[in-house]
């Protein structure tokens, strides 16, 4: 099962020799890196060893290989490598769920997340917030559609997911209706974009430490310091811990209808030794959740809508299911279990367009033996989710968008990464995304509302046709990789309200 790459592939990766040049180092970070690694896996197997500079790496590219690693060696690979991006963006603290190394502090954070932030009870308690925020932004969509304005869907989706996240995190909207949010949106989008660039690009100093001066000459250090400052300025007034502390003293326990936000919960949560989380750890935790939960969900729904525009018969079938099941009211989260075709669309979209085609970096904290080979501590694990989701031994016609494959296999659960390794959009094992249930709910709910409330057409600039009357519309599906898989060309659509959209005007503000 374990194969060794040979020097014939040197033109693609530096991995294949211990004296890499800067040029070959940079080549493995190109925009199609997950696709190139998939090609290597098809030749060498689902579990490959690569030498990236001074760092040994394992690349997992099939469901079978992922199962072996996460069932037998999950704890070993549960740490994170100390990268330059992690170090600067966390000011050297590494004190959030995404970046913290495996150890007592991370285990405490994960336990708090599982029991206090993302438990089924807390998830259910925030359903009214999620519903209200989606309806809040759908009204904006109705207004824009009446003006005949093309909808830049990603921008709208980012506003929805960001407001949802900040309301659940701190009971505040980052983008208010009726206010000129253009500059703030541009800054917020820029913060997210730059965050994914610095986390996804290849930093030579992470693999060849003595070349750290090259990274500085390339401007990465100043770029990341500026990014950290931009993030602080954007979310500083949203995540005010002292304000929450004062509000809690006034509202608890007098206001029994108040749903505590995440900061409220964290302020009341005790650690094992009885102490409370320091304010800086609370802010670091919620900022990490905001970054992880906002663009991933928005990007996923944009890809889903692109696939549905490219496959109008599938889109119409999903709308027919919504009309038959939900009928004359607005769709709710409680309807999702009764919408199997919509769920199949979401699963197939996860398969085709995982938000993170290459998983966040894992690192072993001790040596281990895999397939008879011993690997030292600090071996990096690269999980190629893109390749796993297109494994031809698991999926027939893996490059075709076909939701019926999950209609036939409804038991495959995208949020159960430890049971179904053939579909793991949120990762697997101990470092699996803690927001998987929330993310899946938001993606499915946003997509359901967009389909139920509107008919959609591609804007002229989005179309590609042969020019003749009756030519089929072909949606541009070119992507690029920058930690996440983004559309090269943002999806621009025309929305026409369906009859049920009128109910949005009656929904509570």
pLDDT at 1: 43
Question: The domain spanning residue 459 has which CATH number?
Answer: 1.10.630.10
Q: What are phi and psi of 294, to 5 degrees?
A: -85, -65
- Binding residue positions for heme: 433
Under the banding of pLDDT at 50, 70 and 90, the label for residue 175 is: confident
CA distance 46 to 64: 8
pLDDT at 388: 96
Rounded to the nearest integer, the mean pLDDT of the chain is: 85
Does the structure show a pLDDT above 70 at 338?
yes
CA distance 440 to 347: 10
Helix axes 241-251, 279-310, angle to 10 degrees: 100
- Work out the burial of residue 379: count CB atoms within 10 Å of its CB; fewer than 13 is exposed, 13-18 middle, 19 or more buried: buried
Kindly give, in sequence order, each residue whose CB lies less than 8 Å from that of residue 458, ignoring residues fewer than 6 positions away: 309, 473, 475, 492, 493, 494
Residue appearing with tokens 């309807």: 335
- Binding residue positions: 433
Query: What residues make up the domain containing 128?
Result: 2-506
Q: For 103-140, what is the HEC assignment?
A: CHHHHHHHHHHHHHHCCHHHHHHCHHHHHHHHHHHHHH
Taking CA atoms, 493 is separated from 60, 303, 454, in Å, by 37, 13, 11
Residue appearing with tokens 């913060």: 191
pLDDT at 506: 67
Does the structure show a pLDDT above 90 at 183?
no
Under the banding of pLDDT at 50, 70 and 90, the label for residue 255 is: low
pLDDT at 240: 83
How many residues are listed for the chain in this entry? 509
Span 280-293, average pLDDT: 87
Closest CA to 376 of 37, 56, 154: 56
Q: Decide which of 59 and 278 is more confident.
A: 59
Comparing 7-21, 415-429, 489-503, the range with the smallest average pLDDT is 7-21
Comparing 61-75, 200-214, 293-307, 463-477, the range with the smallest average pLDDT is 463-477
Q: Residue-wise over 384-395: b if at least 16 C-beta within 10 A, else e?
A: bbbbbbbbeebb
Q: Which helix (H) or strand (E) holds 214?
A: helix 212-217
CA distance 391 to 34: 13
Q: Which two tokens stand for residue 50?
A: 């690569």
Q: Which two tokens stand for residue 237?
A: 């007034």
- Structural domains counted in the chain: 1
Under the banding of pLDDT at 50, 70 and 90, the label for residue 456 is: very high
pLDDT at 180: 66
Strand 454-458 to 2-4 pairing: unpaired
pLDDT at 251: 66
- Work out the burial of residue 161: count CB atoms within 10 Å of its CB; fewer than 13 is exposed, 13-18 middle, 19 or more buried: buried
Closest CA to 501 of 452, 440, 432, 430: 452
Does the structure show a pLDDT above 70 at 83?
yes
Q: Which helix (H) or strand (E) holds 51?
A: strand 47-52
Does the structure show a pLDDT above 70 at 100?
yes
Closest CA to 399 of 481, 305, 463, 307: 307
Q: What are phi and psi of 374, to 5 degrees?
A: -95, 135
Closest CA to 478 of 346, 354, 306, 356: 306
Q: DSSP letters of 122-186? A: HHHHTHHHHHHHHHHHHHHHHHHHHTTPPEEHHHHHHHHHHHHHHHHHHS--SS-TTS--HHHHH
CA distance 287 to 355: 19
pLDDT tens digits along 199-245 = 888 888 898 988 888 888 888 889 989 888 888 888 877 888 888 88
pLDDT tens digits along 14-33 = 333 333 333 333 444 443 48
């Amino acid at each position: 099962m374990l194969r060794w790459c040979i020097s014939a592939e040197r033109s693609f990766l530096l991995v294949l020799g211990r004296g890499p040049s800067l040029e070959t180092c940079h080549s493995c970070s190109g925009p199609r890196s997950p696709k190139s690694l998939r090609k290597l896996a098809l030749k060498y197997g689902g579990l490959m060893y690569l030498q990236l500079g001074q760092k040994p790496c394992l690349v997992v590219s099939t469901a079978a290989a992922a199962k072996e690693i996460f069932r037998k060696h999950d704890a070993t690979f549960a740490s994170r490598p100390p990268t330059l991006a992690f170090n600067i963006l966390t000011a050297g603290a590494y004190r959030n769920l995404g970046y913290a190394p495996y150890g007592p502090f991370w285990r405490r954070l994960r336990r708090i997340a599982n029991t206090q932030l993302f438990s089924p009870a807390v998830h259910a308690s925030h359903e009214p917030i999620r519903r209200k925020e989606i309806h809040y932004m759908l009204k904006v969509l109705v207004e824009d559609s009446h003006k005949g304005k093309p909808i830049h869907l990603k921008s709208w989706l980012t506003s929805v997911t960001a407001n949802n996240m900040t309301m659940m995190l701190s009971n505040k909207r980052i983008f208010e209706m009726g206010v000129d949010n253009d500059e703030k949106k541009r800054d917020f989008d820029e913060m997210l974009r730059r965050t994914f660039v610095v986390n996804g690009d290849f930093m030579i100093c992470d693999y060849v430490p003595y070349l750290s001066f090259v990274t500085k000459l390339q401007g990465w250090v100043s770029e990341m310091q500026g990014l950290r400052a931009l993030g602080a300025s954007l979310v500083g007034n949203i995540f005010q811990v002292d304000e929450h502390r004062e509000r809690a003293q006034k509202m608890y326990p007098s206001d029994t209808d108040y749903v505590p936000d995440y900061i409220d919960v964290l302020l009341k949560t005790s650690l094992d030794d009885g102490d409370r989380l320091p304010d800086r750890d609370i802010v670091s935790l919620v900022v990490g959740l905001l970054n992880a939960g906002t663009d991933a969900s928005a990007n996923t729904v944009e890809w889903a809508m692109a696939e549905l525009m490219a496959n109008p018969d599938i889109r119409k079938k999903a709308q027919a299911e919504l009309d038959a099941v939900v009928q004359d009211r607005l769709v709710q989260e409680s309807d999702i279990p009764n919408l199997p075709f919509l769920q199949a669309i979401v699963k197939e979209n996860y398969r085709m367009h995982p938000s993170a085609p290459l998983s966040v970096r894992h690192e072993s904290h001790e040596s281990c033996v895999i397939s008879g080979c011993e690997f030292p501590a600090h071996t990096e694990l690269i999980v190629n989710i893109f390749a796993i989701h297109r494994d031809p031994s698991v999926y027939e016609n893996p490059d075709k968008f076909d939701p019926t494959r999950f209609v036939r296999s409804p038991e495959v659960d995208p949020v159960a990464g430890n049971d179904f390794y053939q579909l793991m959009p949120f990762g697997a094992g101990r470092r699996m995304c803690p927001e998987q249930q929330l993310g899946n709910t938001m993606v499915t709910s946003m997509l359901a509302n967009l389909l139920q409330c509107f008919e959609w057409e591609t804007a002229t600039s989005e179309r590609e046709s042969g020019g003749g009357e009756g030519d089929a519309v072909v949606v541009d599906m070119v992507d690029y990789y920058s930690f996440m898989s983004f559309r090269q060309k943002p999806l621009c659509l025309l929305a026409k309200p369906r009859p049920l959209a009128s109910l949005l005007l009656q929904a509570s503000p």
